[in-house]
Amino acid sequence: MQVCLQLGVSKADFYRAMTTFEGADKRLQLIYSNKKSLSFTDFAHSPSKLKATIAAVRKQFPDKRIVACMELHTYSSLSSNFLEQYAGTMDLADRSLVYFNPHAIELKGLPGITIEQVEKAFAKDGLKAYSDISLMLNDLKTIDGKNCVLLFLSSGNFAGTDLKALAEEILG
């Protein structure tokens, strides 16, 4: 508000505009909800952002199960040397799934990584990594969507998956 006032926007205009502001895209953006469950998408892809987003959701919804789906997508996150920085970042989620696309790694000219490397790097019991989006989606569709917060965390798009439709299918 202070910036807007400095730019000459009146308080009344500011408050009027704020009533329709929906927030920044993919910044803990609600994509589906019903009476018992919710789904968000978030741009969280770096280790610190991933950890902070899951912690914030855990704090806001302490009585719900958190299913966190993360996509390794950036140059750094797809680097085997960087992966170890993800250790502990998904600890507050009840179920953790991590997807990476080997073709994206190839296109970026990076050395390949393996499912085992990813699972070891995150250092979380029960975390499952996938290099095939269809396998991750099949596993995800088996969860009990009641009393759940489903998170999609990425700077990418999970291989073009319609996340809203997927959340509705799982949580609906």
Q: Which carries the bigger pLDDT value, residue 93 or residue 5?
A: 93
pLDDT tens digits, residue range 111-143?
A: 999 999 999 999 999 999 999 999 999 999 999
Domains in the chain, CATH or no CATH each: 24-171 (3.90.190.20)
- Using 50, 70 and 90 to split pLDDT, how confident is the model at 20? confident
143 phi and psi, to 5 degrees? -75, 155
- 90: region left, alpha or beta (phi > 0 left; psi from -120 to 50 alpha): alpha
Output the CA–CA distances (angstroms, integers) from residue 51 to 26, 79, 114, 122, in the order listed: 16, 19, 22, 11
The radius of gyration computed from the CA coordinates of the chain, to the nearest angstrom, equals 18
What percentage of the chain has pLDDT greater than the value 90?
Answer: 76
pLDDT category of residue 79 using cuts at 50, 70 and 90:
confident
Using pLDDT thresholds of 50, 70 and 90, give the confidence band for residue 26: low
The amino acid occupying position 74 is: T
Give CA–CA dist 119/125, Å, rounded. 9
Confidence of residue 77 (pLDDT cuts 50, 70, 90): confident
- Categorize the per-residue pLDDT at 24 as very low, low, confident or very high, splitting at 50, 70 and 90: low
Q: Which residues of 75-94 are buried (b: 16+ CB within 10 A; e: fewer)?
A: eebbbeebbeebeebbbbbe
Residue pair 110/75 in contact (Cβ under 8 Å)? The answer is: yes
- Residues pairing with 39 in the sheet: 32, 150
Per-residue pLDDT of 153-164, as tens digits, reads 998 899 999 999
